[in-house]
Amino acid sequence: MLRRKVIRELEKWTSTKNNKCLIVQGARQIGKTYIIEKFAEEKYEELLEINFKQTPSLKDIFSGDLVVENMITALRFRFPNKKIMPKKTLLFFDEIQECEEAITSLKFWAIDNQYDVIASGSLLGIDYKRASSYPVGYVDYIKMNSLDFEEFLWGIGISEELIDSLRSYLDLRKPIPDAINKQIMDYYRLYIAIGGMPEVVQKYIDTKDFKEVDKIQRNLLLGYQYDIAHYASSEEKIKAEKCYLTLARQLLDKENHKFQYKEIETGARAQKYYSSIEWLLRADMIFLCNKVSEIKYDLSDYAKDDFFRAYTTDLSLLISMRDYSFKQQIVENTILGNSKGGIYECAIADALYKKGHQLYFYKNETAKKELDFIIQINGKIVPIEVKSSNSKAASLTSIISKYNNISYAYKFIDGNIGISEGNIITLPLYMAAFI
């Protein structure tokens, strides 16, 4: 079993007992169902699971009056071997986006407060079906992602002691012993090539066979394309797929990683394709990093909706858009040209996104100043630069000296820990998973 951090959040939900149901959101195939089943196995005497995509006939349970007593009676008829005991049975409604009445019912389960109910779905942000009465105020939410680098290290057997020691070096701003730093960087390149999708990671752990890993990655990408074809409206299907499949070109082939519609087709404009970007965003297939016009708190006030970079929600999906040999180049550190800087930028974006940060970037064409990322931590602006080597970060140095609201910045490199002039904290690329 791959160890996942989300277990802590599930445990917190059960212990707070605030009368609310729980919705676990996230992209498809990131392990939502598996982890909820394992959680129920450990914490409850019984699990009653309904998968509305697998068994659509069970939607009938929610087709009448949404009275808890009536729904429990219907469940007992359909599942005669289940006892369905208050607080001892976990009711798990999987793929709940397929049954809008089940979504509505969450309000009444919460009000009744006899049964613990968890729901999950991978396309809950899509408006192709809208619940007749969404249970606002009656549910808690957990956003789940695929494995981050720390969870990947757990999976391949790296000890807690070693991971804790990496954190101690970070806290002390002290260089990591070269042998350890090189080994962890090798693991990080491996993680970039494999990504964090649980099935892919498990296949690597079991076989160490990159051909098998590649096969699963490509099947996952096809599954995402199927979801676009199945759930997007007829006018969005082709456009959304084109936008999605262009991400490797947008991020790895060009020096400028701004999303450009001309990469989709000649003469393409935002007017035609922006709704498709919105659809992919709501479907948890991408996340955005918007340009800001000013480096001031709150960054969202200065964000430009029409100037952004778009990233896949897991590196597996981006890597599978390229030839198989690209994985080998990543692992062996032989990538050349724009792709090397591009893939490291994507890896840092992936790490920051999975840590829950909203991402922004800054670019001033006139002044020739650019920041790869800007995040906000405890109300503070934190600029970030990503380098494939330990070269100077001229823009970062200049901007820090200009803005007195910036107390420190990060420069992630293929190197070791250090502090440069101007409070630029230099860290190995993999440390983005720990800040």
d(CA 287, CA 313): 6
Residues 193-223 pLDDT 10s: 999 999 999 999 999 999 999 999 999 999 9
Structural tokens at position 6? 């989300």
pLDDT at 310: 98
pLDDT at 419: 74
Along the 435 residues of the chain, how does pLDDT read in single tens digits?
A: 799 999 999 999 998 868 799 999 999 999 999 999 999 999 999 999 999 999 999 999 999 899 999 999 999 999 999 999 999 999 999 999 999 999 999 999 999 999 999 999 888 877 544 545 678 889 999 999 999 999 999 999 999 999 999 999 999 999 999 999 999 999 999 999 999 999 999 999 999 999 999 999 999 999 999 999 999 999 999 999 999 999 999 999 999 999 999 999 999 999 999 999 999 999 999 999 999 999 999 999 999 999 999 999 999 999 999 999 999 999 999 998 889 999 999 999 999 999 999 999 999 988 789 999 999 999 999 999 999 777 778 889 889 888 888 999 999 999 999 876 678 999 999 999 998
Q: Is the peptide bond before 298 cis (omega within 30 degrees of 0)?
A: yes
Q: Could you tell me if 78 and 104 are in contact, meaning their C-beta atoms sit under 8 angstroms apart?
A: no
pLDDT at 30: 97
Strand partners, 311: 287
pLDDT at 133: 63
Nearest to residue 345, comparing CAs of 257, 240, 263?
A: 257
pLDDT at 388: 79
pLDDT at 298: 94
pLDDT at 132: 52
Provide the residue count of the chain: 435
The conformation of residue 87, written as its DSSP 8-state character, comes to T
pLDDT at 129: 47
pLDDT at 290: 98
d(CA 95, CA 105): 14
Strands 424-428 and 418-420, bridge-based pairing: antiparallel
Domains in the chain (CATH in brackets) are 6-143 (3.40.50.300), 149-433 (no CATH)
pLDDT at 128: 43
pLDDT at 421: 66
